[in-house]
Amino acid sequence: MDKISFTVVCEENGKKYKISFKQQAYNLVSIRHIRDHVRKTLQSTVLFELYFNGNLLLDSQFCHELGIQDGCTVIMKLVYARPGYDKQQNFNQFQSEVRKQQEDSLKKQIQRFNLAEDNIPHLTAKRNEIYEADFNEEPEVDLLSQYAKQMSDLDVIGQFNPQKTNYQSQLADTLKSVEQMQVQPNKFMNKSRNDYELQEDQPMDMTSSVQYSTVEVKKTPAKKPPKPRSTEMLLSQAKQPYANDEQIKQMEQFILEQKLEQERQKEQERQKEIENERKIQDLQQQIQNLTKNAQRDTQLELERKMQEQIDRLKQDYEQKLQQIQITQNQQFTYQQNSQQMIQNQVQTPQMLRINESPVSSGIAHSNQSFNNSLTQNVFSNTAIQQSIMPQPVVQNAPIQPNTQVSTINDSFVPLPVENQKQKQLQKQNKLLSHEIDNLEKVLQLLDNQKQILDQDYQNQKQVHSQAQSTLRTLQSQQSSLDPTKLQNKLFHYKLVRSKQDLIKATTQLQNFSQNRRKLHNQVEDLKGNIRVFVRVRPHTQLEKKNYEQFQNSFQILSDQNIQFLQQNSSVPTQYKFFRVYNDNASQQTLFNDVKPLIQSALDGYNIFVGGFGNTGSGKTYTILGDDGDSASVDKTQYGRLGVLPRSVVELFKQLNELKSDFQVELAMVELYCDSLIDLLEEGEMENVSANSSMSNLSQNQNEKLQIRKTQNGDTYIKNLSWVRTRTAEELISYLGPGLEKRHISPTALNDRSSRSHTIIYIKLKQKMSSSTLIFADLAGSERVEKSNSTGQRMKEAQYINQSLAALGDVMSALSQKKAFVPYRNNKLTMLLQPGMGGNSKSVLFVCVSPLATCLGESFCSLQFGARAKAVQNVAVKGLYE
Ligand SMILES: Nc1ncnc2c1ncn2[C@@H]1O[C@H](COP(=O)(O)OP(=O)(O)OP(=O)(O)O)[C@@H](O)[C@H]1O
């Protein structure tokens, strides 16, 4: 397999981009591959050119796949850079290759179309399954995408202009453009294929005017979706239209991890709580201890300090006492000396009384008192002060009779010493107060410390309450992360994804249907706009008895060829039709060939299905069914239903599958002789039975329905009754009563011979298109003399033959592509005009009786069919502008 190098040049906002890549294929471009590249880089594609060294295969599907809208001009340029390629030598081969590919492509399209036909029920079922699954299950869209892929790989070569809709002319253009190509393969031969690039001297005319601001767009490896970290992220990822299994797996993994994480967090919280409680307990204990210690310390300290003070005071006191004694001794000595001096001078016994001086007894007394006070109240400062305070020694001293002594005594009161003592005591007192102050300060400090500890305790308490509130928050968070809630969320994500997938699948299905419709109509166009089927009916019981009458009158050679041996002729005539059904062909087999046209009707094309043939050849049976008058969708009767009721069922089925708005209306008209009769008109019908003469036809009835033309040239019947129907059953229920009003009478050839043309119109309106399905059960084309018609029957037969002859003329004009088509020569052709030319796709069933006696009529019918099949119309879709 060769590798093909592609260079796609795309233009966006006036800037051109170049994308180069290689494809492992010989001559088939993977449209998807290109599209992927183009879409990765561009929002809109206006112009693109492909350079490669194989044959490019593209068509409208290609453009559609690339998202190019109708109306855009797409220029594609092809360069053949295959080394050794010789244009002259290979062109013919290439051309035949192209033709072959085109043929293959067509075959493939038909195959795919058939495949599509087969797949539609499956796809529909799938879609319904997705709907019914209520999003519980993952919808499988693989099938759709596979199918879409199949449909997208079309093999058509060419230069495509979406404005041109004609496939044939596009092919012609393609071949022309291939012929005109300026191929200079040598330009590229020196380059390796990997280096293949656009050259300024590009060999094509179209490229020379293009200035390439080439920006190489390199293919970047697809990014893996980031591992989801949070619920929000998961949600955002799940909202993305392409949330995949990987993401769902990640979500499930995430939930598991979350659960574990929750457990871990719970455990941590519990530990924290225990820790906090323990801390609080410790702190409380600490505070208690501190308080106790503080109290004990304070008391001990106070005791100690007081004891120290007392000791000091005692010491001081003793020192002072000693000093006092010394002073007393000195005083005594001084007194003795003085007395001695006085005795020496006066010689009085008063000297002795000096030894008992109140000063010494006062001192002793005070000393005693002090000692007592100390023992009584060592801690009382006041007592101390009192006890320390010296007694008024002098006041208790008896006043000496001797004034001289008294003077002397007065002169001996040690006042300065007492003052000094007092001062000292005050000083000590002060010191003690100071000490007490200090102790109070210590107490204050301890108080402060206690306050700090209290504060600390409060803080710890706060921390604890904070921890508890955090715990509560975490618990609430935990409840939000509850697995069931997460499960719900996951379910929700899956639901969202399923919905997105469903939308995607529906879009794909719509795209697919669109593509399929496009293809379908292309294929239908190629099949021809008027398809003629020949049906040979089986023998009736009566006929079987006279078998020898119709032996060997004709021979079905294949499913397309029939051979007739005319009377008095030894040379058989062969006819080729779209399909020839033998007498075993079932109603469903016939309908299978009509079914594609129902799709075309949905796409806006007018449809005509008519039954042509001589009386008794099976026209009514083919179009309406065995018992046309009582057509119903009853399953037991279904096998015998004709093309019309089957088409109606199919039409509604497809309309319902489309799930879009539509409107279906029904009208039935009979052309009896030259009169139009509204078969759906309510109320008593006028007596227009087959037995009544032409003159009996009411003038009113005759004039009521009139064929008119719109400004567009479309034919319509004025005053015709239309009924709106919503279901196939409803529509079919109108057919029976309507058909009963037809003119039927026994003839020599058919005991229920239709003496008129019955035309049934089904008008379909959709959002974007409208179309009409016309079904005609034509009257028999027998020879007058054959049906033993006389009188009124003969007249009817003449009208019938006239109208059918006019139909033949129209067919002939259409087949010869005459500018003028004589539609207006007869009411029948006017009534059938919408299905006969222009916007129409038609099927004509030429019904053939197996009777040898009908050989002439059968021959005429086949001639008629042969003329009709040559008609080629260019069908134009009936789109609303
Ligand atoms: N394919 C068939 N299989 C079985 N029976 C058939 C088939 N085609 C026709 N018949 C039977 O042949 C008879 C004549 O058929 P039918 O009424 O459809 O003919 P016709 O062409 O509509 O005749 P006319 O033009 O006189 O109305 C009917 O009894 C019908 O049931």
Q: Which two tokens stand for residue 88?
A: 């002259």
Is the CB of 617 within 6 Å of ligand 1?
Answer: yes
Contact 857, 618 (CB under 8 A): no
Between CA 200 and CA 286 the distance in angstroms is 92
Q: Whose CA is nearest to atom 23 of ligand 1?
A: 616
532 and 592 housed in the same domain: yes
Is the CB of 861 within 6 Å of ligand 1?
Answer: no
846 and 710 housed in the same domain: yes
Is the CB of 613 within 6 Å of ligand 1?
Answer: yes
Contact 673, 796 (CB under 8 A): yes
Examine residue 717 and state whether it is found in any structural domain, yes or no.
yes
Distance (angstroms) between ligand 1 centre and the Cα of 617 equals 6
Q: Whose CA is nearest to atom 4 of ligand 1?
A: 538
168 and 257 housed in the same domain: no
Distance (angstroms) between ligand 1 centre and the Cα of 276 equals 101
Binding site annotation covers 470? Answer: no
CA 747 to ligand 1: nearest atom? 26
Distance (angstroms) between ligand 1 centre and the Cα of 749 equals 10
Q: Whose CA is nearest to atom 2 of ligand 1?
A: 537
Q: Which two tokens stand for residue 299?
A: 């008391």
**DSSP state for residue 570 in the 8-state scheme:** S
Contact 183, 203 (CB under 8 A): yes
Show the DSSP H helices in 346-402 as ranges: 350-355, 358-376, 381-388, 393-396
439 and 566 housed in the same domain: no
Is the CB of 780 within 6 Å of ligand 1?
Answer: yes
Residues in the chain: 881
624 and 741 housed in the same domain: yes
CA 535 to ligand 1: nearest atom? 1
Distance (angstroms) between ligand 1 centre and the Cα of 615 equals 8
Q: Which two tokens stand for residue 405?
A: 């002594």
Contact 718, 706 (CB under 8 A): yes
Examine residue 350 and state whether it is found in any structural domain, yes or no.
no
194 and 263 housed in the same domain: no
Distance (angstroms) between ligand 1 centre and the Cα of 535 equals 11
Q: Whose CA is nearest to atom 1 of ligand 1?
A: 537
SS3 for 218? Answer: coil
pLDDT beneath 50: ranges in the chain: 1-4, 23-30, 39-60, 68-88, 90, 127, 130-168, 170-171, 174-175, 177-229, 235, 237-243, 348-414, 628-636, 684-700, 871-881
CA 587 to ligand 1: nearest atom? 1
Examine residue 116 and state whether it is found in any structural domain, yes or no.
yes
Which residue among 580, 589, 620 has the greatest number of ligand 1 atoms within 8 angstroms of its CB, and so is best to mutate?
A: 620
SS3 for 426? Answer: helix
Q: Residue 775: which H helix or E strand, with range?
A: strand 770-777
Examine residue 347 and state whether it is found in any structural domain, yes or no.
no
Is the CB of 432 within 6 Å of ligand 1?
Answer: no
Between CA 490 and CA 484 the distance in angstroms is 9
Examine residue 346 and state whether it is found in any structural domain, yes or no.
no
Domain boundary among 435, 458, 477: 477
**Pairing mode of beta strands 662-672, 561-564:** unpaired
CATH number at residue 799: 3.40.850.10
Is the CB of 847 within 6 Å of ligand 1?
Answer: yes
Examine residue 708 and state whether it is found in any structural domain, yes or no.
yes
200 and 256 housed in the same domain: no
709 and 810 housed in the same domain: yes
681 and 546 housed in the same domain: yes
Which H, E and C letters describe 676-728, residue by residue?
EEECCCCCCCCCCCCCCCHHHCCHHHHHHCEEEECCCCCEEEECCCCEEECCH
Examine residue 686 and state whether it is found in any structural domain, yes or no.
yes
Is the CB of 850 within 6 Å of ligand 1?
Answer: no
Is the CB of 615 within 6 Å of ligand 1?
Answer: yes
SS3 for 227? Answer: coil
Is the CB of 834 within 6 Å of ligand 1?
Answer: no
Is the CB of 626 within 6 Å of ligand 1?
Answer: yes
Between CA 767 and CA 320 the distance in angstroms is 132
Is the CB of 614 within 6 Å of ligand 1?
Answer: no
Q: Provide the 10 A C-beta neighbour count for residue 373.
A: 18
Which residue among 583, 750, 846 has the greatest number of ligand 1 atoms within 8 angstroms of its CB, and so is best to mutate?
A: 750
Domain boundary among 145, 178, 208: 208
- Rg value, the chain, Cα: 62
Q: Whose CA is nearest to atom 12 of ligand 1?
A: 618
Name the residue type at position 540.
T
Model-level ipTM above the cut of 0.95: yes
Distance (Å) of CA 665 to CA 26, 180, 732, 763, 810: 52, 52, 12, 5, 27
> pTM for this structure?
0.46
Between CA 402 and CA 404 the distance in angstroms is 5
Which residue among 533, 537, 778 has the greatest number of ligand 1 atoms within 8 angstroms of its CB, and so is best to mutate?
A: 537
Distance (angstroms) between ligand 1 centre and the Cα of 175 equals 50
Distance (angstroms) between ligand 1 centre and the Cα of 624 equals 10
Which residue among 534, 539, 621 has the greatest number of ligand 1 atoms within 8 angstroms of its CB, and so is best to mutate?
A: 621
Distance (angstroms) between ligand 1 centre and the Cα of 731 equals 23
Examine residue 504 and state whether it is found in any structural domain, yes or no.
no
Distance (angstroms) between ligand 1 centre and the Cα of 618 equals 3
Distance (angstroms) between ligand 1 centre and the Cα of 668 equals 21
Write out the residue range of the structural domain in which residue 54 sits.
Answer: 3-208
653 and 759 housed in the same domain: yes
Distance (angstroms) between ligand 1 centre and the Cα of 625 equals 9
Binding site annotation covers 236? Answer: no
Is the CB of 750 within 6 Å of ligand 1?
Answer: yes
User: pLDDT tens, 617-642?
Assistant: 889 889 988 754 444 444 445 557 89
Binding site annotation covers 617? Answer: yes
Number of domains making up the chain: 3
Between CA 323 and CA 321 the distance in angstroms is 5
Distance (angstroms) between ligand 1 centre and the Cα of 620 equals 6
Is the CB of 55 within 6 Å of ligand 1?
Answer: no
Of 21, 51, 82, the residue nearest 212 (C-alpha): 51
How does DSSP assign 56-95, residue by residue? Answer: -B--HHHHHHTTPPTT-----------TT--HHHHHHHHH
Distance (angstroms) between ligand 1 centre and the Cα of 849 equals 9
Binding site annotation covers 620? Answer: yes
Contact 837, 872 (CB under 8 A): no
Distance (angstroms) between ligand 1 centre and the Cα of 858 equals 14
Q: Whose CA is nearest to atom 9 of ligand 1?
A: 618
451 and 390 housed in the same domain: yes
Domain boundary among 177, 208, 239: 208
Of 656, 647, 841, the residue nearest 731 (C-alpha): 647
Residue-level pLDDT at 723: 93
144 and 272 housed in the same domain: no
CA 621 to ligand 1: nearest atom? 18
